[in-house]
Amino acid sequence: MSPAVSRLLLRLLLLGGISLAGLGVLGPVVLAGRVDAFYGRFTSPLAGSLIVGTSRAAQGIQPAVLEDAWLGKKFDGPLLNYAFTLTHSPYGPAYLRSIQRKLRPEVRDGLFIVAVDPWSLSLTGPEGRYPEDNSFIGQLHQVSQNPNLAYLTRYQTKPLYRLLLDYATATEHLHPDGWLEVTIGVDSAQVRARTARKLQDYRRLAASQHLSAGRLQALRQTIQFLQQHGHVCLVRLPVGPSLLQLEQTYQPGFDQLMRQTATALAIPYLDYSTQPYATTDGNHLQRAASLSFSQQLAKDLAAALASH
């Protein structure tokens, strides 16, 4: 057993108060990156291509599907889904720094899918005060370390003895390529109930937030940084019709703003916001829809990048 693994097991014992027998089982779970919906992205190797954005992209874009279609033959890999949540990875200085840390510096032929929506460019309160600065996105400097002790000791919030229990029953499965697979019921009644709750959440956001000049600047800076390392495409993912209507009311000029941004930076913009893909809650694609969307995205990316 390596010294790093030994130190990790000792730390887990001290923090979690669980038995040595439990640690023997828990250790491989941790080393495989199966701690929560985020941890594995901070233990994987540095990436050659990235998908960035919030949870829409985390659940909606499958790197393996893109690679199976054509990516592995044309762009530097590995392709990693490095999208997190609206809380952790809206566009801003902290997310940009984390992206810069995760990308191999020598990459020159990468593919970068930059997923956008009005919320990922919005802010509550004054400009320049970004809540994610105080999260792992803003404070975790080691983003490709296995085991990642800094993450485990500071940002893994569940009692460690629950990791084994949760691993056996988890509805969220973070794949090694960063795709977050979510397994929940998708019958019509469940989807309607979740959609109603999600709409309430976003109505509160619409009432308290504004489109942020600072976040828009950070988006442009993110694109410009990634352009130094390869090919960038701006993408707006599908959402349910109710949430799309709210977004259009909240920021009626958003789509035009994204088109202008893409044109100014000479990158393609693919807008799927009105496409009828099935969601779990009006906001995130269902597993089957994520597969079909990723297949369509691969085809459209090939065509869009060929014309730029």
Cα separation, 24 vs 170, in Å, equals 20
pLDDT band with cut points at 50, 70 and 90 for residue 308: confident
pLDDT band with cut points at 50, 70 and 90 for residue 96: very high
* Residue 250 predicted with pLDDT over 60: yes
pLDDT band with cut points at 50, 70 and 90 for residue 21: very low
pLDDT, residue 15, reads 47
pLDDT band with cut points at 50, 70 and 90 for residue 212: very high
pLDDT, residue 33, reads 46
pLDDT, residue 20, reads 43
pLDDT, residue 89, reads 98
Task: Reduce the DSSP state of residue 154 to 3 states and report it.
Answer: helix
pLDDT band with cut points at 50, 70 and 90 for residue 232: very high
Q: Say if residue 147 is preceded by a cis peptide, omega within 30 of 0.
A: yes
* Residue 11 predicted with pLDDT over 90: no
* Torsion (CA) 290, 115, 63, 50 in degrees, nearest 10: -170
* Residue 18 predicted with pLDDT over 50: no
Question: What are the b/e assignments for 282-307, b being 16+ CB within 10 Å?
Answer: bbbbbbebbeebbebbbeebeebbee
Report the amino acid identity of residue 129: R
Cα separation, 104 vs 175, in Å, equals 20
The helix-helix angle for 93-102 and 213-227 (nearest 10°) equals: 20
pLDDT, residue 68, reads 85
Task: Reduce the DSSP state of residue 65 to 3 states and report it.
Answer: helix
Q: Considering the entire predicted model, what is its pTM?
A: 0.88
* Residue 71 predicted with pLDDT over 60: no
φ and ψ of 52, to 5 deg: -125, 155
Which residue, among 45, 38, 178, 176, has the nearest Cα to 103 in the 3D structure? 45
pLDDT digits (tens, 9 = 90+) for 105-114: 999 999 999 9
Distance of CA 80 to the CA centre of its chain: 10
pLDDT digits (tens, 9 = 90+) for 255-300: 999 999 999 999 999 999 999 999 999 999 999 999 999 999 999 9
The mean pLDDT value for 226-231 works out to: 97
* Residue 160 predicted with pLDDT over 80: no
Asked if 195 and 269 count as a contact pair (C-beta separation under 8 A), the reply is no
Average pLDDT in the chain: 89
* Residue 198 predicted with pLDDT over 60: yes
The mean pLDDT value for 28-35 works out to: 55
In whole angstroms, how far apart are CA 125 and each of 87, 94, 190, 209, 296?
15, 17, 34, 7, 38
pLDDT band with cut points at 50, 70 and 90 for residue 4: low
Question: Tokens 């799927």 correspond to what residue?
Answer: 272
pLDDT, residue 25, reads 47
